[in-house]
Amino acid sequence: MSAAFPPAHTALIVIDMQRDFCSPGGYADQAGMDVQRLREPIANIQKLLQAARTAGLLVVHTREGHLPDLSDCPAAKMDRSMAAGAPIGSQGPLGRLLVRGEQGHDFVDALKPAKGELVIDKPGYGAFHLTRLAQVLADHHVQQIILCGVTTEVCVHSTLREAVDRGYTCTTVGDATAASDPSLQAPALAMIGVEGGIFGRVCSTAEVVAALGGPALENRATTWVQAFTGI
């Protein structure tokens, strides 16, 4: 086992791989996003999950959504969803958009949590806001976090930045994330590594899988980052 991700102190967090973001008829689709693009990380996330489960990492799945009465949805967020053409709580083909308990709120079939894996339902973009994630990570003595999911520039970045502020060492798996707009993907990944890795490091799925079950991961996967982002 690689020392890069000690299993007793590392968590894999899979961000918002829900039908509302990754399936036709969900929130993202109603808001005009390309859900096929947002589905692209699924195969790589499956590989990460298999490696994390085999290595014995804590695995966390997050879902963004709101209570049926929308009491936890700030007015400003509601206004933004209305401006996007997909009001939170409105009826869609997969049920009410971004509402807990609806078909669209649940995970895509390919990435259902395994028995015993933690599910964090969050009302905000970041996974720490108004959730028990911080306490769970503390209870499991987590020091490092591996992040993947959607969208890179919003919920992944929001979770990443708060995790860094809380003192976690973070790795974002670039090819296991997707942005709502393809032009935002490379910049969102590039800004992670500025100032000597201010928000941690970006690695590929293959590198993380190898590190979890094979040779040690280099401190910085600069070759892959440069190839992906053009920096």
| pLDDT band of 3, cuts 50, 70, 90 | low
Closest to 100 (Cα-Cα) out of 151, 62, 149: 62
Is 77 in the active site? no
Number of domains in the chain: 1
Return d(Cα 140, Cα 158) in angstroms, integer: 22
Q: In this predicted structure, what is the pLDDT of residue 61?
A: 98
- The answer to whether position 56 is within a domain reads yes
Is 122 in the active site? yes
- Domain of 201, in residue numbers: 7-229
The CATH number of residue 40's host domain is 3.40.50.850
- 29, 106, 121, 122: the catalytic one is 122
**pLDDT, tens digit, for every residue of 50-84?**
999 999 999 999 999 999 999 999 999 999 999 99
- The answer to whether position 35 is within a domain reads yes
Burial of 205 (0-12, 13-18, 19+ CB in 10 A): buried
- The answer to whether position 1 is within a domain reads no
- The answer to whether position 2 is within a domain reads no
**pLDDT, tens digit, for every residue of 104-159?**
999 999 999 999 999 999 999 999 999 999 999 999 999 999 999 999 999 999 99
- The answer to whether position 137 is within a domain reads yes
Distances (CA, A) of 46 to 5, 202, 208: 18, 18, 13
Sign of CA dihedral 98, 16, 154, 167: positive
- pTM for the model stands at 0.91
- 73, 155, 170, 203: the catalytic one is 155
List 146's β-bridge partners, or say none.
12, 171
**pLDDT, tens digit, for every residue of 163-210?**
999 999 999 999 999 999 999 999 999 999 999 999 999 999 999 999
- The answer to whether position 169 is within a domain reads yes
